[in-house]
Amino acid sequence: MVAAAVAGFGRNTLWIVGEMGRMMVFLLSTIAWMVRPPFRLLQVLKQIHFIGVKSLFVIVLTGAFTGMVLGLQGYYSLRKFGAEGLLGSAVALSIIRELGPVLSALMVTGRAGSAMTAEIGIMRITEQIDALDTMAVNPMQYLIAPKVLASVLIMPMLCSIFDIIGIYGGYLVGVELLGVSSGAYTSSIELSVEWKDVYGGFLKAISFGVIVSWVCTYKGYNTTMSAEGLATATTEAVVLSSVLILIWDYFITSVLM
Amino acid sequence: MKTPLGQDRAATEAAGVVTRAEDSQPVIRLIGVEKKLGGQPVLRGVNLEIHRGKVTTIIGKSGSGKSVLLKHIIGLLKPDRGQVLVDGTDITKLGARELNEVRKKFAMLFQGAALFDSLNVSENVAFPLREKTKLKETEIERKVLEMLEAVGLTDMGHKFPAELSGGMRKRAGLARALVMGPEIILFDEPTTGLDPLLARTIHDLIVETQRRFGYTAVMVSHEIPEIFGISDYVAMLLDGVIAEMAPPEQFQRTRNPGVREFINVEPKPEAVSSGVGKESRSL
């Protein structure tokens, strides 16, 4: 029984190591195909529209309510110390450094990442990917590279929209609803937010863009040939992307601090 | 040989439609191809020759590895052992770029046609032209129309794959396969899921286009006895090897019990006694 448990542990470990290796090869191959002609600008633009423009509503909605709830929580916490004037600073720093990049990445994972996995998985099951191969069109270059590139390009933009809407959400609750001075709210932002906070957030957004598109396209590309396999791949893609985003967020924050 | 279209293939060839000097040369050779999938042996040493300008049909039980074999021919799968020679080049040893060059000789019609969902029929047919040629848009449109006409889908160019019936999808897939003028077209069960009448139509279309364009056709099919009427050679994949390969008339007189059981024909006394079946090659 102990031997069986050890064997099972060993098998799982080997599988995990193997899977990590395959994922890394997939990412490197994607990057290699990204920089080789022909450059598929139209495909990239389509993906920017799909990942970016179509995610706008959910980003604006989550950004607004995140800022509003931060305004609410922040106000009652700061009021205990008579520091309501710092509300703008608390909301802006929380959103720009952490919540903007992380929550927008999680939203994109849920909306666009799962769709990427499903789309590529269906193309795999219905042999559309094999058809590309038979036409001497590399699927990595035609399908995967544009999605990864678009994701990397659009994530900082979505993140900045989340940041702006979130800060304005905090303003609505803090200033318009709870009576914090408008000047105090904005000036505390100006005084506390530094350029490194902004580019740190963008750096996170870019790396989260890589994680979401990489994991989601990998899972779709390597789905097993059944409806159940595709469902599993989609679930795994969303869970793994979300977990990796949070883990990577810790490491990148520790480097940026 | 009589075809479903009622035309004598030999007469057609005599008219020079598909006959070429190298007709008898094998364009594709598989030598000792072995493949395991999920630890299970699927191909156990396949030897097969595909002749230029001919229709070769591979039959076999469901799950016997026919589609796997077809995917080896176009390099979608690599064998664990053995060689796949296309015009003398072993494609199992080629890198991605060289393999893509060889693939330009091929086209493939998949079981479900594998049309791109996001493109309409015209865009699907135009796809290889837009990707692999520098033709002007007007020329591409002309070729697409010509191909759609050849498969009887002239007015269907604007439809998306989801709006098409199974037969129409196969036709559109055939148009896409034909558009680049390939030397070899692989058909993976082109009539699966179609009613007998529609299956006959697709078979007729394959024969008609093969005559018109002169390509080498390799077809995987279950449609017995229909395939005997449209094939120049029939091969049977049994237990991971090609158990029998011969022209249809000889194939039907085989003495291989496994093949006989599959094609469900009784032995013809004259074939057994006169040894007509000797010309059949057991590979």
| Cβ pair B117:A122 closer than 8 A | yes
- Distance from C-alpha of A17 to C-alpha of B27, rounded to nearest angstrom: 43
Q: What distance in Å separates residue A207's CA from the closest CA in chain B?
A: 29
Q: How confident is the model at residue B205 (pLDDT cuts 50, 70, 90)?
A: confident
Q: Does residue B11 surpass a pLDDT of 60?
A: no
Q: Provide CB contacts within 8 A for A185, sequence distance 6+.
A: A85, A87, A88, A170, A171, A174, A175
How high does pLDDT run on average in chain B? 83
Q: How many CA atoms lie within 13 A of A34 on its CB side?
A: 17
Chain A residues whose beta carbon lies within 8 Å of the beta carbon of residue B111: 127
Whether the CB of A138 is below 8 Å from some CB of chain B: the reply is yes
Mutation target to probe the B interface, by most B beta carbons within 10 A, among A46, A134, A142 is: A134
User: What interface predicted TM-score (ipTM) does this complex get?
Assistant: 0.78
What's the confidence (pLDDT) of residue B282?
36
Of all residues in chain A, the one with the smallest CA distance to B127 is A135
Mean pLDDT of B156-177: 90
Whether the CB of A135 is below 8 Å from some CB of chain B: the reply is yes
Give first-to-last CA distance, chain B, whole Å. Answer: 24
Mutation target to probe the B interface, by most B beta carbons within 10 A, among A46, A135, A141 is: A135
Cα B40 off chain centre by? 25
- Which residue of B103, B115, B117 is in closest CB contact with A134? B103
pTM: 0.82
If chain A, 257 residues long, is cut into consecutive pieces of 10 residues, what is the mean pLDDT of each piece? 91 93 95 89 94 94 96 92 89 95 96 95 93 91 95 96 96 92 92 92 95 96 89 95 96 88
How high does pLDDT run on average in chain A? 93
Query: Can you give the residue ranges of every domain in chain A?
Result: 41-256
Q: Does residue B273 surpass a pLDDT of 70?
A: no
Chain B residues whose beta carbon lies within 8 Å of the beta carbon of residue A130: 71, 76, 108, 110, 114
What's the confidence (pLDDT) of residue B20?
39
A-B CB pairs within 8 A amount to 49
- Distance from C-alpha of A34 to C-alpha of A47, rounded to nearest angstrom: 14
Whether the CB of B76 is below 8 Å from some CB of chain A: the reply is yes
What's the confidence (pLDDT) of residue A154?
95
- Distance from C-alpha of B233 to C-alpha of B260, rounded to nearest angstrom: 16
Q: Does residue B8 surpass a pLDDT of 70?
A: no
Which domains, from first to last, does chain B contain?
Answer: 1-101+232-283 (3.40.50.300)
What's the confidence (pLDDT) of residue A69?
96
| Cβ pair A130:B114 closer than 8 A | yes
Question: Each residue of B33-68: pLDDT tens digit?
Answer: 999 998 899 999 999 999 999 999 999 988 889 999
Length reported for chain A: 257
- Distance from C-alpha of A207 to C-alpha of B256, rounded to nearest angstrom: 62
Q: How far is CA A156 from CA A71, A89, A169, A201, in A?
A: 23, 21, 19, 8
Under 8 Å between Cβ of A140 and A36 = no
Whether the CB of A32 is below 8 Å from some CB of chain B: the reply is no
Q: How confident is the model at residue B142 (pLDDT cuts 50, 70, 90)?
A: very high
Q: How confident is the model at residue B153 (pLDDT cuts 50, 70, 90)?
A: confident
Segments of B99-205 assigned E as strands = 106-109, 184-188
Whether the CB of A130 is below 8 Å from some CB of chain B: the reply is yes
Mutation target to probe the A interface, by most A beta carbons within 10 A, among B70, B97, B98, B117 is: B117
Helix or strand holding residue A98 (H, E): none
Q: What distance in Å separates residue B111's CA from the closest CA in chain A?
A: 9
Mutation target to probe the A interface, by most A beta carbons within 10 A, among B97, B115, B131 is: B131
Residue with tokens 């609410």: A72
Q: What distance in Å separates residue A127's CA from the closest CA in chain B?
A: 5
Mean pLDDT of B217-221: 93
Residues 169-188 of chain B with CB under 8 A from chain A are 180, 186
What's the confidence (pLDDT) of residue B129?
94
- Distance from C-alpha of B199 to C-alpha of B195, rounded to nearest angstrom: 6
Whether the CB of B106 is below 8 Å from some CB of chain A: the reply is yes
Chain B residues whose beta carbon lies within 8 Å of the beta carbon of residue A138: 96, 100
What's the confidence (pLDDT) of residue B24?
58
- DSSP lists the bridge partners of residue B217 as B55, B185
Q: How confident is the model at residue B187 (pLDDT cuts 50, 70, 90)?
A: very high
Mean pLDDT of B55-82: 92
Mean pLDDT of B261-281: 50
Of all residues in chain A, the one with the smallest CA distance to B119 is A128
Q: What distance in Å separates residue B165's CA from the closest CA in chain A?
A: 16
What's the confidence (pLDDT) of residue B265?
52
Percent of chain B with pLDDT strictly greater than 90: 46
